[in-house]
Structure 1
Amino acid sequence: MYPFLSWMKSGDRQIFIIFNQKIRCRLFNRLMPMVTHLGGLTFSVCLFLVLFLLLRESRILLIEVPLALIISHILVQVAKRRWNRPRPYLREINIHVVENPLRDYSFPSGHSAAIFTWSTSIAFVIPWLALLFFILAILVAVSRMYLGLHYPLDVIVGALVGVSCAIGVHYFM
């Protein structure tokens, strides 16, 4: 079991370095700090209000999304406190990181969980928007690594939490 964990940790770090250092360019330097906010609270609230006001077929989202987001947020916070994984910029050297980075724990990514919760919920109710939202979700996950805030495993588990919560709530409702 320990060789597997060692391999996971090494691979996680190597993939992080690719996203944080190897693919840097002016376009991403401007784009990623904006994209990352699509997984944040402000975007979630604004999207919720827009769908509430504009799309009648999204009424089911008014129940499912907040419930799935609450559940995913609770799971993310419990996991962060359980595993206490420091953020990459606190462990690695020569990391590109945003100004005023978050100080809480890294694992799993709450931004990834939130945007994947939204994407999955939208896929159930408004399928024609699903591809767009999953592309945005992947960009948010990449932005979290690009900005030095999360390792790949953090965003993958965050995405799995978000997808699982949205699926669970959808089928429970």
Structure 2
Amino acid sequence: MLDIILDWLLSLDHSLYLTVVNNCRTKYLNHIMVWSSYAGSFGTIWIILIIVLGLTGRLQGRHSIWRALGIMGATWLLNDLIFKNLVARPRPFTVYPDVDLLINAPSGFSFPSGHAASSCAAWTVIRSLNKDPLIHWGILLLALTISVSRVYVGVHYPLDVVGGAVLGTIASLAFLKWIR
């Protein structure tokens, strides 16, 4: 029974990926999604936002910048060094070589998405250290856009993004609880 459900989920995952990369792209969205994907690389946008929010007094706590950056780093280690290597899922463009990638092909495994993990970790951490709902919604929109962009540009399956989002959220909540 579990095999049937897993096969169905993976089949749906592949179908959704192919639908997005073959039928949902537009010139306008291509620019937004490529920019979003690059902005999320190496957690760059999140590091910048955390530092800016911290330096402008928008994060609560004396060591909020260091806590936030530490949690981001720990989440990256957990995602990219442990989970990706445990699961070892090939990238979709290796399975579907005819798909046009909108960015350079990244190396490494596909599941879970590091962009989604870092985006959701950043949103969770910023939300816990900042009480402004407008900032929460803005960060959430950016996190979702960066996460979805990874499927759109052709380098992740949808379940990679969901897995990364879940991992990033749970890991950052656990790290927040641990350091308090």
Deviation at 1:63, TM superposition (A): 3.5
In 1, are the aligned partners of 2:47 and 2:69 still within 8 Å (CA)?
no
TM-superposition CA deviations, 1:135-172 (whole Å, max 9, x none): 11111111000011100111111011111122112222
Measured on the aligned residues, the alpha-carbon RMSD in Å equals 1.7
Alpha-carbon distance in 2 for matches of 1:166, 1:90:
31
Deviation at 1:46, TM superposition (A): 1.7
1:11–1:56 CA distance, 2 compared to 1 (3 A):
closer
Alpha-carbon distance in 2 for matches of 1:143, 1:104:
18
Matched positions, count: 173
**Alignment counterpart, residue 140 of structure 1, candidates 137, 141, 146:** 146
Establish whether residue 89 from structure 1 lines up as the match of residue 93 from structure 2.
yes
1:54 is aligned to 56
Q: 4+ residue stretches of structure 1 with deviation over 4 A?
A: none
In 1, are the aligned partners of 2:76 and 2:114 still within 8 Å (CA)?
yes
Segments of structure 2 that go 5 or more residues without pairing to the other structure are none
TM-score by length of 2: 0.88
What pairs with 1:96-115 in structure 2 (closer than 5 Å)? 96-115=100-119
In 2, are the aligned partners of 1:121 and 1:170 still within 8 Å (CA)?
yes
In 2, are the aligned partners of 1:96 and 1:146 still within 8 Å (CA)?
no
TM-superposition CA deviations, 1:79-130 (whole Å, max 9, x none): 1111211111111143121342102111110111111111111111224211
Alpha-carbon distance in 2 for matches of 1:61, 1:17:
41
**Alignment counterpart, residue 131 of structure 1, candidates 137, 146, 149:** 137
Alpha-carbon distance in 1 for matches of 2:144, 2:17:
15
For 2:117, give the aligned amino acid: A
In 2, are the aligned partners of 1:117 and 1:166 still within 8 Å (CA)?
yes
Deviation at 1:71, TM superposition (A): 2.1
TM-score by length of 1: 0.91
Alpha-carbon distance in 1 for matches of 2:119, 2:39:
7
